[in-house]
């Protein structure tokens, strides 16, 4: 069964640095998403992406965040000037945009900002 993959599984960075989280969505999917989960809390929507542009973003997704689909397979989340409060698990998801719109989630990247 096809699956969403994410790298790295764990990223440690110093406050103020830039990080790039990478995702490979399911190959025939057209809609891509990032979510985050602060330890012990619920999963929260960050951004959705379709047709090479952002469809919707939450208030969490401030101007330090950006997303990109640099080629036909990868989908990246970049965080500039990282803050301690960016520490969280980041999940990538993709869907084929059908009526059911089932989203398939990757295993997550745990980001730790020191």
Partner 1 sequence: GIQVEQSPPDLILQEGANSTLRCNFSDSVNNLQWFHQNPWGQLINLFYIPSGTKQNGRLSATTVATERYSLLYISSSQTTDSGVYFCAVNFNKFYFGSGTKLNVKP
Q: Which residues bind partner 1 (CB under 8 A)?
A: 33, 35, 37, 41-45, 48, 56, 89, 91, 93, 99-105, 107-108, 110
Hey, is 90 helix, strand or coil? strand
Nearer to partner 1 (CB atom), residue 71 or residue 102: 102
Measured from the CB of residue 81, what is the shortest distance to partner 1 in angstroms?
25
Q: Is the peptide bond before 21 cis (omega within 30 degrees of 0)?
A: no
Those residues whose C-beta lies under 8 Å from the C-beta of residue 41, and which sit 6 or more positions away, are: none
Nearer to partner 1 (CB atom), residue 20 or residue 105: 105
Hey, is 10 helix, strand or coil? strand
Measured from the CB of residue 77, what is the shortest distance to partner 1 in angstroms?
15
Nearer to partner 1 (CB atom), residue 53 or residue 71: 53
Q: Is the peptide bond before 8 cis (omega within 30 degrees of 0)?
A: yes
Instruction: Give the span between the Cα atoms of 38 and 21, in whole angstroms.
Output: 16
Measured from the CB of residue 89, what is the shortest distance to partner 1 in angstroms?
5
Instruction: Give the span between the Cα atoms of 91 and 6, in whole angstroms.
Output: 8
Measured from the CB of residue 29, what is the shortest distance to partner 1 in angstroms?
14
Nearer to partner 1 (CB atom), residue 16 or residue 97: 97
């Amino acid at each position: 069964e096809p699956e969403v993959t994410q790298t790295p599984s764990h990223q440690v960075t110093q406050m103020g640095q830039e990080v790039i989280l990478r995702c490979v969505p399911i190959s025939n999917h057209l809609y891509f998403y990032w979510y985050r989960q602060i330890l012990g809390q619920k999963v929260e929507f960050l951004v959705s992406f379709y047709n090479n542009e952002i469809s919707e973003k939450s208030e969490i997704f401030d101007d330090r965040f950006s997303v990109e689909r640099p080629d036909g397979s990868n989908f990246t989340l970049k965080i500039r000037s990282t803050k301690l409060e960016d520490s969280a698990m980041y999940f990538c998801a993709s869907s084929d945009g059908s009526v059911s719109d089932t989203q398939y989630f990757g295993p997550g990247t745990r980001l730790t900002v020191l």
